[in-house]
Structure 1
């Protein structure tokens, strides 16, 4: 894989590039370190100078190493983590140029996806499965076929490892390295739109921190179904216990009832709801 310095020579003239893993930061950038990062982003949107850009590169450079090292654990040992970092740097640069703080997405979340996408793109562009890995895989398959021809049954991993004269851990590594990895570019077009900007994979990545609107509607419908036909106090007990996760004692204080009374009402409500659900199941 070409180094960062080699690849930057292929980029259009006029766009700033990192010079290796260490990004040089102008003297004026020392003042940026004293500012809130949100203010730095807004300054960069107004004036995308090399000084601010280099400061942001240096500030978020650890994300590149962290992402590259995590991805490296799932790749063959022949793939160098430094090569992954070199590709990841370009993802960081693209993320800095495209990031919009007004969208409310944390840069770390947005940037990590861009870094991964850049690394995946590079792995797709090159033949990332080295010859040594392919050679080992082919040898394993030959041994399996030969064993099956000789014995009439499929060989176990232990038997294949013994014929290859490798220990259990080494054989596991050979199989792991040969396992195909699904590589998808996050910059790939997801679907076209009428506007000039198409929707990409990264635009539809699920944010697990946000509740699914469909799940929210289903949750509300279930609440309505469960509380239908109940008195106000009974509805409150269900809502406070199952939705607000309050204890029986806390509910009793809220409704001015004893804890034992709340527990008694709760048991009665559940029995009625069970009978109601059994009756309604006949409708389906």
Structure 2
């Protein structure tokens, strides 16, 4: 009985230990008990990311499935995290959690062919109307073009956003330590689902980063779109901060030269 009371007392003291000390001890010992405590502490991050992705998906997908996949991503992040890199774990693990969730969605292959087809029809109708009207069409005009009511149109838009989520799981870049960086990891989450704006945003990024390597594209997008620091980008890509800065300067010089060259071409064509 005395042994039981001692165990409870030890557990209570352990729970009061600052999370920074738990990290230090875990990296020294690697015990399962400390790992579980870290898992419990950061579990809300899994729920947060799972719910953000779940909100963009059709009803057929279960939130619990996304949570389970995200937990595995959190486990990998805890094991791989380097305390000496000077980056918050919350920032570091978001990539792993979202990547694990999207990998699960890809393996499930839940997006039906009809959803892909109808989302494509919506985009075609929007572009066709914009050319005919000379302006951005309203939702009502798109509904009339497709021959569907407003409720059905909203469902198609939601499912179209889900198709976009799955496409974002495409691998963009593999770091020197074999860590995959996927497209969703470099795109900012939107508070509201708007597949049309997502397409426009992606097209703009492709225009700006055309001709760059995958690593260079990531640096541009992470720095200017995600507003990450050079140090945080280095952690994400497994590069030193100085190397990221060097590549960034080189990218800017080449982009400036390309823009000047294109400007000269346009002037010649105008003549």
Equivalent residue for 1:184?
169
Selected match of 2:16 from 34, 39, 45:
34
Aligned-partner SS, 2:174: strand
Root mean square deviation, CA, Å = 3.7
Selected match of 2:63 from 70, 76, 81:
81
Could you tell me how far apart the structure 1 residues matched to 2:50 and 2:23 are? 24
Aligned-partner SS, 2:43: helix
Equivalent residue for 1:64?
46
Could you tell me how far apart the structure 1 residues matched to 2:29 and 2:170 are? 30
1:80 offset after TM fit, Å? 1.9
Q: What CA deviation, in whole Å up to 9, does each residue of 1:21-52 have, x standing for no partner?
A: xxxxx965543332221111110011111111
Number of matched residues? 172
Structure having greater relative contact order (Cα 8 Å, sep ≥ 6)? 2
Is 1:128 paired with 2:110?
yes
Q: Structure 2 matches for 1:105-254, cutoff 5 A?
A: 105-130=87-112, 133=115, 156-159=141-144, 163-164=147-148, 166=149, 168-179=150-161, 180-181=163-164, 182-184=167-169, 189-190=173-174, 197-198=177-178, 200-201=180-181, 206=222, 208-210=227-229, 213=245
Q: What are the ranges of 5 or more consecutive residues in structure 2 without an aligned counterpart? A: 1-6, 126-139, 186-214, 231-243, 251-271
Could you tell me how far apart the structure 2 residues matched to 1:213 and 1:63 are? 30
Q: What CA deviation, in whole Å up to 9, does each residue of 1:84-131 have, x standing for no partner?
A: 111101001111111111111111111111100100111112212147
Is the 1:38–1:101 Cα contact (8 Å) retained in structure 2? Answer: no
Q: 1:116 to 1:158 in 2, by over 3 A?
A: same
Q: If you compute each CA radius of gyration, which structure gives the higher value, 1 or 2?
A: 1
Could you tell me how far apart the structure 2 residues matched to 1:29 and 1:124 are? 40
Higher normalized helix content (fraction of residues): 2
Could you tell me how far apart the structure 2 residues matched to 1:93 and 1:57 are? 7
1:77 offset after TM fit, Å? 2.7
Q: What are the ranges of 5 or more consecutive residues in structure 1 without an aligned counterpart? A: 1-25, 145-154, 219-284
Aligned-partner SS, 2:47: helix
TM superposition score normalised by structure 1: 0.50
